[in-house]
Amino acid sequence: MEPIKAQRGTQDILPGQSGHWQAVEAALRSEAETAGFREIRTPLFEDTRLFQRSVGEATDVVEKEMYTFKDRGGRSITLKPEGTAGAVRAYLEHGLYNSPMPVRLYYFTPCYRYERAQAGRLREFHQFGVEEFGSALPLADAGLIALAAGTFGRLGVRGLTLKINSIGCPDCRAEYVRALRAYFTAHIGRLCETCRSRLERSPMRILDCKNPSCAAVAAKAPRILDYLCDECRAHFAQVRAGLDAAGVRYEVDPSIVRGLDYYTRTVFEFVSGDLGAQSTVCGGGRYDGLVQEMGGKATPALGFAMGIERLLLIMDAQQAEFPPRKTCDLYIAPLGERARSEAFRLVCALRKSSVAAACDEVGRSLNAQMKYAGKIGAKFTLVLGDDELKTGRAALKNMKTGDTAEISLKEGFVRQFAAVSAAAETAGF
């Protein structure tokens, strides 16, 4: 039988890599909770209508990229392509709007989009996201962006560029869309087939097209910032003032529109030169109309999502340092069945006290056990044979220095080991 392999666009996270994931997730979780966000976990799949209503039926995500299928009850189900829609549904379904405002949520979630698999763009990928409900002030926008910038700083990620824009409210954006449609209609011959189809439904998407011809046309298109109403212009100015106060550097980029229909006013992206074509590692903005669109009361809201795979690619390219992974504190090498039983007992006692311990479980020779202890990075080893069982004492060996210390196998074994280990750590071993 031909071996079954992982599906294209997916990847396995192996033990040598998972430690990096855990370190990144721990840092992101800590930053979010320090800022008052609390974790939410939503289902992997949802009613397809959720994404059609929130993301937008005319978006590439809904039209081309969603994994949608019929379940056995004939219902249309979709694997989540992004995290915001599910968070909004949960916010409404469980009455989180009755909580003190603002409601701050964060999540880690796998997402699914059927795209051409390449570095930094997978069909199954993972996001860290935050959502904030009930915050209308521009200071909330600046605070959210500063939170994202802070997470990159904590992880030691360098060279990111923050690009911000305002795409206005539905009122001022309507006038801009008319101007944009007229402009692109005059240059329709230079647009790709996809952008021609966008012209009537969503001309702002043309601004984000990577086709060189479309990009050249878009470069001279009307700017959304010239069409903002007084209120949206003031909001954007205050967001910028908040970022200045927080010491967060940014560039205003009128081409930033994001790819989902629910955004209003502030939108932003953190981009990196270490990712090639897939340069965006984090993006988000304000979506003041989405809660109402989903059946709730009008509620200001905003959020961002960060791609974990892309973040790790950047950190790898920059040779970022990660905390050392947990290794074995003590490996006990038994000789014979009686010793193996006693070694197992001691290992269980050590683990109950959060000491990383192991013993032979495959029947290796003593020489093979010592080689194995070296491979797993054991800090100490202890050989347990008939003599040790008879006397109730054994030699504890420091694998780095070669020093040994006699230790009792009876009462206080765990305490004795902890003392020897702590002394070695204090001495720098």
Q: Report whether 51 contacts 88 (CB < 8 A).
A: no
pLDDT digits (tens, 9 = 90+) for 390-409: 999 999 999 999 999 999 99
Task: Give the mean model confidence (pLDDT) for residues 294-317.
Answer: 94
- Neighbour tally for 402: CB within 10 Å: 7
By CB neighbour count within 10 A (0-12 exposed, 13-18 middle, 19+ buried), where does 39 fall? exposed
Q: Which residue is it, tokens 């011809």?
A: 213
The reported pLDDT for the residue numbered 429 is 55
The reported pLDDT for the residue numbered 323 is 83
The reported pLDDT for the residue numbered 369 is 96
Task: Give the mean model confidence (pLDDT) for residues 156-182.
Answer: 91
pLDDT digits (tens, 9 = 90+) for 43-83: 999 999 998 876 765 566 666 788 899 999 999 999 999 99
pLDDT digits (tens, 9 = 90+) for 198-208: 888 788 878 87
Percent of the chain whose pLDDT exceeds 90: 66
The reported pLDDT for the residue numbered 341 is 94
Type and span of the H or E element at 406: strand 404-408
Q: What phi and psi, each to the nearest 5 degrees, are found at residue 335?
A: -120, 100
How far, in whole angstroms, is CA 321 from its chain's centroid? 18
Domain ranges of the chain: 15-169+229-317, 330-420
DSSP β-bridge partners for residue 129: 107, 305
d(CA 380, CA 371): 13
- Neighbour tally for 323: CB within 10 Å: 11
Is the predicted pLDDT of residue 230 greater than 60, yes or no? Answer: yes
The reported pLDDT for the residue numbered 428 is 62
In this structure, what token pair is assigned to residue 145? Answer: 């962006």
The reported pLDDT for the residue numbered 143 is 96
Q: What is the residue-averaged pLDDT of the chain?
A: 90
Q: For 306-310, 339-343, 419-423, 424-428, which range has the lowest pLDDT when averaged over its residues?
A: 424-428
The reported pLDDT for the residue numbered 281 is 93
The reported pLDDT for the residue numbered 405 is 92
pLDDT digits (tens, 9 = 90+) for 5-31: 988 988 999 998 999 999 999 999 999
Q: What b/e readout covers 359-392, taking b as 16+ CB neighbours within 10 angstroms?
A: bbeeeeeeeebbebbeeeebbbbbbbeeebbeee
Could you list the beta-strand ranges (E) of 209-296: 251-252, 264-271, 280-286
Amino acid (1-letter code) at residue 255: S
Concatenate the DSSP letters of all residues of 302-348 into one string.
Answer: EEEEEEHHHHHHHHHHTT---PPPP--SEEEEE-SHHHHHHHHHHHH
Is the predicted pLDDT of residue 88 greater than 80, yes or no? Answer: yes
The reported pLDDT for the residue numbered 392 is 93
pLDDT digits (tens, 9 = 90+) for 339-352: 999 999 999 999 99
Task: Give the mean model confidence (pLDDT) for residues 404-417.
Answer: 91
Residue 84 — pLDDT band, cuts 50, 70, 90? very high
The reported pLDDT for the residue numbered 426 is 77
DSSP 8-state secondary structure symbol assigned to residue 7: P
Question: Between these two residues, 322 and 34, which has the higher pLDDT value?
Answer: 34
The reported pLDDT for the residue numbered 58 is 54
The reported pLDDT for the residue numbered 67 is 86
DSSP β-bridge partners for residue 358: 331
We find that the CATH architecture of domain 330-420 is: 3-Layer(aba) Sandwich (3.40)
**Domain 15-169+229-317: which CATH class?**
alpha beta
Is the predicted pLDDT of residue 247 greater than 70, yes or no? Answer: yes
Cα distances (Å, whole numbers) of residue 281 to 135, 159, 212, 337: 24, 12, 22, 54
By CB neighbour count within 10 A (0-12 exposed, 13-18 middle, 19+ buried), where does 67 fall? middle
Is the predicted pLDDT of residue 269 greater than 70, yes or no? Answer: yes
d(CA 147, CA 302): 13
Q: What b/e readout covers 156-192, taking b as 16+ CB neighbours within 10 angstroms?
A: ebeebebbbbbbbbeebbeebbebbbebbeebeeebe
Amino acid (1-letter code) at residue 240: R
In this structure, what token pair is assigned to residue 368? Answer: 């093979």
